[in-house]
Structure 1
Amino acid sequence: MATFPRNEIMSLTASKPRHDLGESYGPDLRLADLLTPELADLELGYGTAAGGLQLRTAIADRHGVRPEDVVITVGGMHGIFLLAYLLADQGGQVVTTAPEFPMTRNAFETVGASVRVVPLSFDDGYRVTAGAVRAQLTPETRLVSLATPQNPSGVAVPRETLSEIADAMSEVCPEAYLMVDETYRTASYGDDPVAGTALGLGPKVVSVASLSKCHGAAGLRIGWVISTDAGLVERLTTAKFSTVVSASPVAEALAVRVFEQEPRILAERRTWLEQNLLITQDWVQANGDVVEWVRPSAGALCVVRLRPQVDLAEFRRTAGELGVRLADGDWFGDEPRVFRLGFGFLPQEELKAALDALREAVHAAH
């Protein structure tokens, strides 16, 4: 019987801890930031299967595509699940990485895909190489799934590498699609440039993202899939209608307001993320005898590893007693001594307090 694998990452939606370093996004927007008088006249009927034209246009304009290339989904995971279902169900071959966001892995397992894994490691800086991906491709490959920047590491896949992967796929498995999860793409630090979308690499490249991470609007549950393949867009639209009919017109209208304010929202968050990244970097350097990290390329998260002399069980026990919540590496298929640290969620003073408590936990187990 088909089922959805359970993962302890669900605990992030449960009670709030004293020091929350487990989240993977920045501060939340508030409804008051988006409300306008005309929203009071919004009719609470069904939306459209593809999504409202105004919202699809806003997304298309930011990706250099047409509105008809965009399908609005109920969060980014809805889009990933639909792609898995349409392209890789009942033994369809998927090439993906480990570690990766567990819900993505769960989607492939749930639809019965045959998964081939490209292993990434802390010691190699979570770098994806075209050669490693190519080694997993076969003529039966139907979907290659990558994220840039990655969750949990925040490490980006260079565009040249993505291009080499797309070229390899055109040779080995020309019917396969390259799904690129670009959820954290616009969450750059300070004045760092924002990486371009991978969509320009060819018609078999599909982009998935949402408003949840970079924009602080996870509660709207608005995501999207973008493809210049009209046949795939039609299949996605039908699949969306068959699962949820439409997204909420209220959420879509509020999402349009997010995009209207996007330059201000992202500018504020890039400053916030840069400052919190530097706080985290200083903390890692000050505690280098007990921890090490891989510096992220973008996003509100990074990966930290306990050094061998730290007792893992004692660390977890003490961290729990101090109210420190982290995202365990084994949630993502990583080694047990690794954990995802979300530095973008808390205000600076609260982040410093949380890191102080984390230092106490690590040194207590040293």
Structure 2
Amino acid sequence: MARFPDNEIISLVSKAPRFDLAESVGPSVRLSELIDMAFGDDADFSLDYGTAAGNMELRRQIANENGVDADEVVVTVGGMHALFLIAFTLCQAGEEAIVAEPVFPLARNALTAVGALTRALPLGFDTGYRIDLDALRKLLSPKTKVVSLTSPQNPSGVAVPAQTLREIVAMLAEHAPEAWLMVDETYREAAYGHDTAAPSSARLGPKVISVASLSKCHGSAGLRIGWAITRDAALRQALVTAKFSTVISCSPVDEALALAVLRQRDRIIGERRKLLAQNLQLVENWMSRHPAYVEWVRPDAGALCCVRLKREVFDAAAVERFYAALARYSTRVAPGAWFGDDPLVFRLGFGLPTLTALAIALECVSVAMTEATRIDGR
């Protein structure tokens, strides 16, 4: 029987250090911002089961924001629940799933836990984490059931262009007609400032599944509300049945609060986009001051990016000293190893701290790099 492998990324839900640049979220919404809109004066809100598909008004709101019908939306207990239900429903033991890597490890684990054989589609720092369509084509086989992508990607924040997604849909139709394209779009709306968010992939084709949640862009990870969108009625019903068979329904309290979040979407996301733009500029300025130590791939969206320690400066021992120094300064970044990336790479999360706190945290990273190396002759 398959098991979920251990990964140090679980430390993100433990006690945080003073400066947490490993996180990939933004500031959390406060319950006081939602309670009146969610419940009003209704102290008699009934704590019944919810529906297996999810609250209809919530599904309508999600559908409106993704350009689909409410009947194409299944509400889940967070985005990870959606990923697991899709894997459980579509993959039999021994069938293949192609996963673009590096990747949020739980997304891969959902597939391996149901017995799927995962085949890695490598995305590299040196190529800007862009998808190589020829490499993907070579991985496809009659056993391919799922191609799993994230856009914007975690850990890099690099988006998959809409044209690339359309080409992948056409490629699957020709070379692997039984395969489904699953796109995790949890960071899609985390654009910077006045940038326009990418369109949802949900309407790209009948064998495309879009997954997202309220965790990243909406500041509501604690609500544990996500969703899967599919135009295929049979798959939708299978997902509803799988949800009912695992959790029965989502919490109606969470669903009511989630609806309040989406009804305040423009304010909530707008505030976070402004912060992301300011913080990204600070990160960009910091990178420009340390070309001897680090390089990066600038993200397209999201509260995260990939930074690489310079290979000619950091050997394995220096990398260890770098992380040890960060710990002394109560500062954390997310090691690339969490995601299957090069040990020289780390994920830098810049969406959670205030501008002032981020500046201090980046200074701690600067000091840690200096202490870990002898580049300054020390």
- Answering whether residue 366 of structure 2 is matched by residue 359 of structure 1, we say yes
1:180 alignment partner AA: V
Q: Which of the numbers 43, 60, 65 marks the counterpart of 1:62? A: 65
Q: Which of the numbers 177, 180, 183 marks the counterpart of 1:177? A: 180
Give the TM-score, by structure 1 length.
0.98
Aligned to 2:31: 31
2:114 alignment partner AA: V
Q: Give the Cα separation in 1 of the matches to 2:184 and 2:90.
A: 16
- Answering whether residue 282 of structure 2 is matched by residue 279 of structure 1, we say yes
Instruction: Assess if the C-alpha contact under 8 Å between 1:130 and 1:162 holds in 2.
Output: no
Q: Give the Cα separation in 1 of the matches to 2:339 and 2:244.
A: 30
Q: Give the Cα separation in 1 of the matches to 2:186 and 2:291.
A: 30
Structure-to-structure mapping, 1:243-322, within 5 angstroms: 243-308=246-311, 309-310=313-314, 311-322=318-329
Instruction: Assess if the C-alpha contact under 8 Å between 2:2 and 2:112 holds in 1.
Output: no
CA RMSD of aligned residues (A): 0.9
What displacement does 1:63 show? Answer: 1.1
Gaps of 5+ in 1: none
SS in 1 for 2:80: helix
What displacement does 1:71 show? Answer: 0.4
Q: Which of the numbers 211, 225, 249 marks the counterpart of 2:228? A: 225
Aligned to 2:109: 106
Q: Give the Cα separation in 1 of the matches to 2:42 and 2:61.
A: 18
What displacement does 1:38 show? Answer: 3.9
Instruction: Assess if the C-alpha contact under 8 Å between 2:63 and 2:70 holds in 1.
Output: yes
Q: Give the Cα separation in 1 of the matches to 2:293 and 2:181.
A: 39
Structure-to-structure mapping, 1:1-366, within 5 angstroms: 1-36=1-36, 37-38=40-41, 40-308=43-311, 309-310=313-314, 311-366=318-373
1:224 alignment partner AA: W
Instruction: Assess if the C-alpha contact under 8 Å between 1:138 and 1:173 holds in 2.
Output: yes
Give the TM-score, by structure 2 length.
0.95
Instruction: Assess if the C-alpha contact under 8 Å between 2:72 and 2:233 holds in 1.
Output: yes
What displacement does 1:293 show? Answer: 0.6
What displacement does 1:2 show? Answer: 2.5
2:369 alignment partner AA: V
Instruction: Assess if the C-alpha contact under 8 Å between 1:56 and 1:70 holds in 2.
Output: yes
Gaps of 5+ in 2: 374-378
Same amino acid, percent of matched pairs = 53
SS in 2 for 1:292: strand
